[in-house]
Amino acid sequence: MKIHYISENNSVLNHFLGQIRNVNVQNDSLRFRRNIERIGEIMAYELSKILPYKEIEIQTPLGIKKTTEIDTDLVLCPILRAGLPLHNGFLNYFDHAENSFVSACRYHPNHDDEFEIRVEYQAISDLNNKTVLLLDPMLATGQSIVAVHQKLVENASPTEIHVVVVIAAPEGIAYLEKNLPENCHLWVASLDEKLNEKNYIVPGLGDAGDLAYGSKL
Measured CA to CA, the distance from residue 119 to residue 121 in angstroms comes to 7
User: Could you write out the DSSP letters of every residue in 58-107?
Assistant: EEETTEEEEEEEE-S-EEEEEEETTTHHHHHHHHHH-TT-EE-EEEEEEE
CATH number for domain 2-50+73-213, candidates 3.40.50.300, 3.50.50.60, 3.40.1130.10, 3.40.50.2020:
3.40.50.2020
3-state DSSP assignment of residue 9 = coil
Quick check: 20 pLDDT over 90?
A: yes
Q: pLDDT tens for residues 140-175?
A: 999 999 999 999 999 899 999 999 999 999 999 999
Query: Which pLDDT does position 105 carry in this prediction?
Result: 76
What are the residues whose beta carbons fall under 8 Å from the beta carbon of 141, sequence distance 6 or more? Answer: 169, 171, 172, 175, 195, 199
Q: Give me the residue spans of the domains in the chain.
A: 2-50+73-213
| The pairing of beta strand 116-123 with beta strand 101-107 | antiparallel
In degrees, rounded to 5, the angle at the alpha carbon of residue 83 between the alpha carbons of residues 106 and 92 is 170
What are the residues whose beta carbons fall under 8 Å from the beta carbon of 9, sequence distance 6 or more? Answer: none
Instruction: Centre a 10 Å sphere on the Cβ of residue 183 and count the other Cβ atoms it contains.
Output: 11
Q: pLDDT tens for residues 40-95?
A: 999 999 999 999 999 999 999 999 999 999 999 999 999 998 999 999 999 999 99
* Average pLDDT score over residue span 11-39: 97
Query: Which pLDDT does position 120 carry in this prediction?
Result: 82
